[in-house]
């Protein structure tokens, strides 16, 4: 039971790190790199960006938790080589991708720096999901995420 708590806490910690990145680092980066649309104050625009970035991160975190619960309690295997759930893991990444698309569509495009905004949305969503699943998947599924065999040595 303690291992479950540690892994779930790890997923929550990664979500928390991304939340801190959005509320501090990304805020400062965009404040100096983005020119909001005419008639919009930069602070108002950044507040809207933060709202959508946090939504993207929460969707990624919830999707990671869903992956963990399914891998730990719904799928039963004896060896990671028999797990064969990479397709399921890959389908789940669609939830953060959809969240990123929605965030991009509902964020008023800036006059300059739009590429950075869209890049940050994508990194927030995809890296949050990827890192939390590659680092905190249950043992039988720890090599399921792409690249996990290279990243996980324990």
Question: What pLDDT, on a 0 to 100 scale, did the predictor assign at position 142?
Answer: 84
Query: In the chain, where are the structural domains located?
Result: 2-151
- Measure the CA–CA gap between 120 and 137, rounded to whole angstroms: 25
Query: What is the predicted pLDDT for the residue at 128?
Result: 97
Range of lowest pLDDT (39-53, 68-82, 99-113) = 68-82
| pLDDT over threshold 70, residue 154 | no
Question: What Rg value do the Cα atoms of the chain yield, rounded?
Answer: 17
Residue 92's φ and ψ, nearest 5 degrees, are -65, -25
Q: Tell me the whole-structure pTM to 2 decimals.
A: 0.90
**How far, in Å, CA of 22 to CA of 47, rounded?**
11
**Above 60 in pLDDT, residue 91?**
yes
Whether 147 has a pLDDT exceeding 90, the answer reads no
| Cβ–Cβ under 8 Å, residues 145 and 116 | no
Could you read off the pLDDT of 14-33 as tens digits, one per residue? Answer: 999 999 999 999 989 999 99
Averaged pLDDT of the chain: 90
Mean pLDDT score, 108-134 = 94
- The encoded tokens of residue 123 equal 């990194």
Could you give the CA distance from residue 84 to residue 50 in angstroms, rounded to a whole number? 37
């Amino acid at each position: 039971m303690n291992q479950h708590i540690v892994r779930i806490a790890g997923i929550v910690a990664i979500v928390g790190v991304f939340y801190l990145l959005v509320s501090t680092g990304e805020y400062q980066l965009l404040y100096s790199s983005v020119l909001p649309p005419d008639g919009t104050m930069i602070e108002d625009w950044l507040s809207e960006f933060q709202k959508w970035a946090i939504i993207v991160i929460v969707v990624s975190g919830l999707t990671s938790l869903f992956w963990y619960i399914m891998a730990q309690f719904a799928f039963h295997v004896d060896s990671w080589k028999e797990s064969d759930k990479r397709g399921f893991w890959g389908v789940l990444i669609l939830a953060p991708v959809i969240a990123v698309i929605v965030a991009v569509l509902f964020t008023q495009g800036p006059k300059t720096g739009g590429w950075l905004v869209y890049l940050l949305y994508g990194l927030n969503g995809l890296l949050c999901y990827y890192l939390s699943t590659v680092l905190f998947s249950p043992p039988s599924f720890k090599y399921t995420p792409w690249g996990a065999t290279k990243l996980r040595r324990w």
